[in-house]
Chain A
Amino acid sequence: MTIARFKTSEQVDFAIVGSGAAGGVMARELSRGGFSVVLFEQGPRLTPTEFEHDELKYWYLGGITNDPEKNPQTFRSDPTQKAQRTIVKPALWYARTVGGSSLHYTANNWRFHEVDFDERSRLGAIPGTGFEDWPIRYADLEPYYTKVEWEIGVSGLAGANPFDPPRTKPYPMPPLPTKSSGVLFERGARKLGLHPFPAPLAINSQPYRGRPACIHCGFCHGFACEVTAKASTLTTMIPEAEATGRCEVRSESYVVQVEMDKRGRATGVRYFDRDNREQRQRARAVILCANGAETPRLLLMSANEMFPHGLANSSGLVGKYLMFNYTGRASGVFEHELNEYKSVQTSRVVHDFYDSDPKRGFYGGGGIDARIGPQPMVWAQRIGEEGPSWGSEYKARLAEFSRTTGIYAHGTSLPVETNNVTLDPELKDAWGMPAIRVTYRDHPDDLANATFLRDRGAEILEAAGALRVTKAPVVPSTLAVHLLGTCRMGNDPAKSVIDRYHRSHDVPNLFLCDGSSLVTSGRGQPTMTIQALAFRAAEHIANFARRGEITTPPRSA
Chain B
Amino acid sequence: MTNGEESGNRGEVSRRAFVRVALATLGGMCLAPDWITIAQAAHEAHSATAAAGDASFLTSAELADVDAMTAQIIPSDGTPGAREAGVAKFIDRALATFLSRMGAEFRTQLEAFRRAFAARHPNVASFSALPFDQQTEFLRTVERTPFFQTMRMLTVFGMFSTPSYGGNRNNVGWQLLGFEDRHIFQPPFGYYDRDYPGFSITGAPSA
**A337–B184 contact, CB under 8 A?**
no
- Chain B residue numbers with a CB within 8 Å of A384 are 152, 156
The CA of A61 and the CA of B49, in the complex, are separated in Å by 12
Is A339 at the interface (CB under 8 A from chain B)?
Answer: yes
Report the bound CA distance from A48 to B204 in whole Å: 42
Residue pair A60, B157 in contact (C-beta under 8 Å): yes
Are B101 and A69 touching (Cβ within 8 A)? yes
Q: Is A187 in the interface zone, CB < 8 Å from B?
A: yes
User: In the bound complex, what is the Cα–Cα distance between A217 and B174 (angstroms)?
Assistant: 15
Are B201 and A180 neighbours in the complex by a CB distance under 8 Å?
A: no
Q: Does A182 contact B (CB under 8 A)?
A: yes
Contact with B along A372-383 (1 / 0, CB 8 A): 000011001100
Q: In the docked arrangement, what's the CA distance between A226 and B38, Å?
A: 7
Interface size on A, residues (CB 8 A): 68
Stretch at the interface among B3-11, B25-33, B59-67, B113-121: B25-33
Partner of A339, one of B46, B74, B165, B189: B189
A242 within 8 A of B: no
CB distance from B55 to the nearest CB of A (A): 15
Cβ contacts B165-207/A at 8 Å (1 or 0 each): 1000000011011111001111111111100101101011110
Chain A residues 193 to 213 lying within 8 A of chain B, measured CB to CB, are: 197-198, 207, 212-213
Tell me the minimal C-beta distance from B76 to chain A in angstroms. 9
Which residues of chain B from 26 to 70 have a CB within 8 Å of any chain A CB?
Answer: 26, 29-32, 35, 37-39, 41-43, 45-46, 49
Give min CB distance, B47 to chain A, whole Å.
10
Residues on A with beta carbons closer than 8 Å to the beta carbon of B136: 391
A145 to chain B, nearest CB (A): 21
Q: Which of B76-115 touch A at CB < 8 Å? A: 77, 79, 81, 98-99, 101-102, 105
Complex CA distance for A376 and B152, rounded to whole angstroms: 15
Asked whether A339 lies within 8 Å of B190 as measured between CB atoms, the reply is yes
With contact pairs A215-B25, A398-B74, A402-B177 given, residues A51 and B45 touching in the complex (Cβ less than 8 Å)? yes
Residues in A neighbouring B38, C-beta threshold 8 A: 48-49, 226-227
Verify if A140 is at the interface (C-beta below 8 Å from B): no
- The answer on a CB contact under 8 Å between B46 and A53 is yes
Q: Which 5 interchain pairs have the tightest Cβ spacing? A: A180-B190, A336-B191, A52-B45, A226-B42, A180-B192
In the bound complex, how far is the Cα of B103 from the Cα of A399, in angstroms? 31
Residues in A with CB closer than 8 Å to B162 are 53-56
| Inter-subunit contact B203/A53 (CB<8 Å) | no
Does B189 lie within 8 Å of A179, measured CB to CB?
yes
- Cβ of B17 under 8 Å from chain A: no
Q: Write out the residue numbers on chain B whose beta carbons fall within 8 Å of the beta carbon of A190.
A: 203-206
Q: How far is the CA of A246 from the CA of B42 in the complex (A)?
A: 32
Chain B residues in contact with chain A, CB under 8 A?
A: 22, 25-26, 29-32, 35, 37-39, 41-43, 45-46, 49, 72-75, 77, 79, 81, 98-99, 101-102, 105, 136, 139, 143, 152-153, 156-157, 159-162, 164-165, 173-174, 176-180, 183-193, 196, 198-199, 201, 203-206
A contact residues around B180 at 8 Å (CB): 339, 341
Name the CB-closest residue of B to A377: B160
A182 and B179 in contact (CB under 8 A), knowing A87-B101, A191-B205, A395-B74? no
Q: Which chain A residues lie closer than 8 Å to B203 at the CB level?
A: 186, 190
- Distance of A49 Cα from B29 Cα, bound (Å): 19
Distance between B157 CB and nearest chain A CB, rounded to angstroms: 6
Interface residues of A in 350-392 (CB under 8 A from B): 376-377, 380-381, 384, 389-392
- In the complex, A55→B77 CA distance in Å? 26
Distance to closest chain A CB from B163 (angstroms): 11
* Closest B residue by C-beta to A382: B156
List, in ascending order, chain B residues with CB within 8 A of A71's CB: none
**What 1/0 mask marks residues of chain A from 227 to 264 whose CB sits below 8 Å from any chain B CB?**
10000000000000000000000000000000000000
New A-B pairs, 7, CB < 8 Å, besides A339-B178, A384-B156 = A53-B162, A175-B199, A177-B187, A178-B199, A336-B190, A343-B189, A399-B79
Alpha-carbon distance between A505 and B191 when the two chains are bound, in angstroms? 56
Query: In the bound complex, do residue B161 and residue A216 qualify as a contact, i.e. CB atoms below 8 Å apart?
Result: no
A-B contact pairs, 28 of them (CB 8 A): A53-B46, A54-B161, A57-B46, A177-B187, A177-B193, A178-B196, A190-B206, A191-B205, A212-B26, A215-B26, A216-B186, A218-B185, A219-B183, A226-B39, A226-B41, A339-B189, A339-B190, A341-B179, A342-B185, A376-B160, A377-B160, A384-B152, A389-B152, A391-B75, A391-B136, A395-B79, A398-B177, A402-B177
Give complex CA distance A285, B205 in Å: 56
Given contacts A87-B105, A157-B199, A395-B75, contact A61 B156 (CB under 8 A): no
CB distance from A343 to the nearest CB of B (A): 6
Given A49-B41, A217-B183, A338-B189, CB of A395 within 8 Å of CB of B201: no
Q: Is the CB of B72 within 8 A of A380?
A: no
- Given the known inter-chain contacts A339-B189, A377-B160, A390-B152, please indicate yes or no for A160 contacting B201, CB distance below 8 A: yes
Q: When the two chains form the complex, which single residue of A180, A392, A395 contacts B189, counting CB atoms closer than 8 Å?
A: A180
* A494 within 8 A of partner (CB): no
In the complex, whether A433 has a CB less than 8 A from a CB of chain B is no
Residues of A within 8 A of B185 (CB): 215-218, 342-343
List the B side residues contacting A394 at CB < 8 Å. Answer: 73-74
A395 to B159, CA, bound (A): 11
Chain B residues with CB under 8 A of A157: 199
B42 touches A217 (CB 8 A): yes
Interface string of A150-190 (1 = CB under 8 A from B): 00000001011000000000000001011111111011001
Closest to A61 in B: B98
Q: With CB as the reference atom, state the residue of chain A lying closest to B160.
A: A377
A54: B residues at CB distance < 8 A: 45-46, 49, 161-162, 164
A338 & B191 in contact (Cβ 8 Å cutoff): yes
A222: interface (CB < 8 Å): no
Query: Which A residues are in CB contact (< 8 Å) with B72?
Result: 390-391
Residues of A within 8 A of B46 (CB): 52-54, 57
Cβ of A217 and Cβ of B75 under 8 Å apart? no
A398-B176 CB under 8 A given contacts A57-B49, A336-B191? yes
Q: Is A215 within 8 A of B39, CB to CB?
A: yes
Which residues of chain B come closer than 8 Å to A342, judged between CB atoms? Answer: 185, 189-190
Query: Could you say which of A69, A159, A178, A401 has the most chain B C-beta atoms within 10 Å of its C-beta?
Result: A178
